[in-house]
Amino acid sequence: MKFWKRRGPVPELGHSIRDYQALVRLKLKAMPHERALALAQSIGAPTLEDFMAQGDGHVAVLRHHGLENGMAIYDLGCGCGRTAQALQRSGWQGHYTGADVVPELLAEIARTCPDYRTVLNYERTISANDESLDIVFHWSLFTHLFPGESYLYLLDAYRALKPGGKMIFSFLELEDRAHDHVWQAGLRKLRNGERPEQLDAFLHRDWITRFARDAGFSTARFTNGDDDAHHPPFWQSLAILAKG
């Protein structure tokens, strides 16, 4: 099956697409002369220094889990290029595709990383041919989607990965006390009748294991985000799924 063949009606823009487009446009309007900072803040980095340090951390995670030069990698929900810019800074050589649902974020990657490919994709699919990618990764994306949406992405990532390829992603879990502040903030908003900026979603390792098994992945491994200090700590948990 080719990824671009759509069947059925054109889907509605989903909740996370509407919410992120609104958030990015609000930030840009509030800070018209600080575009890079407005975009960084809309994906959760308070300062440009944080944005760069976090991106360097992302690259260290990817290298620890097998990133090499020459690979074809896919950054799902890539934002404005926190990881892309860090990959470029690190001197990594390979084929990068960043996919997102907000045109303004993708435009920033096109501006800062002109050799990288960007894709605007509103469907829960991976815009790549079958068995064409070495790594599909995403940070803080399943944290904003319903479990069914995450599963659809996982299923299509399996299709697009080469045999031996990996899907690497971060997620929030209730069992980890370090993630509790997100849970508590959500409860506070519910109690106060406030509308959250976006959905904050938690997953369980058992659910991810089931998703991975149903999709066909041979293994699903998890870390609390620091991989025994092999890279700077990632504040969310990490899942590493392998296509056998």
Ligand X SMILES: C[S@@+](CC[C@H](N)C(=O)[O-])C[C@H]1O[C@@H](n2cnc3c(N)ncnc32)[C@H](O)[C@@H]1O
Which residues contact ligand X by CB under 6 A? Answer: 14, 16-17, 20, 43-44, 76-79, 82-83, 100-102, 105, 138-141, 144
CB atoms within 10 A of CB 164: 11
100: which strand partners?
120
The identity of residue 157, as a single letter, is: A
Residue labelled with tokens 């390792």: 205
Tell the smallest beta-carbon distance from residue 121 to ligand X (Å).
7
Rounded CA-CA distance 172/237 in Å is 6
Q: Which is nearer to ligand X, 169 or 206 (CB)?
A: 169
Residue 96 is inside which H or E element, if any?
strand 95-100
Tell the smallest beta-carbon distance from residue 56 to ligand X (Å).
12
Residue 236 three-state SS: coil
Q: Which is nearer to ligand X, 27 or 138 (CB)?
A: 138
Tell the smallest beta-carbon distance from residue 17 to ligand X (Å).
5
DSSP 8-state symbol, 216: T
Q: Which is nearer to ligand X, 191 or 234 (CB)?
A: 234
Tell the smallest beta-carbon distance from residue 163 to ligand X (Å).
25
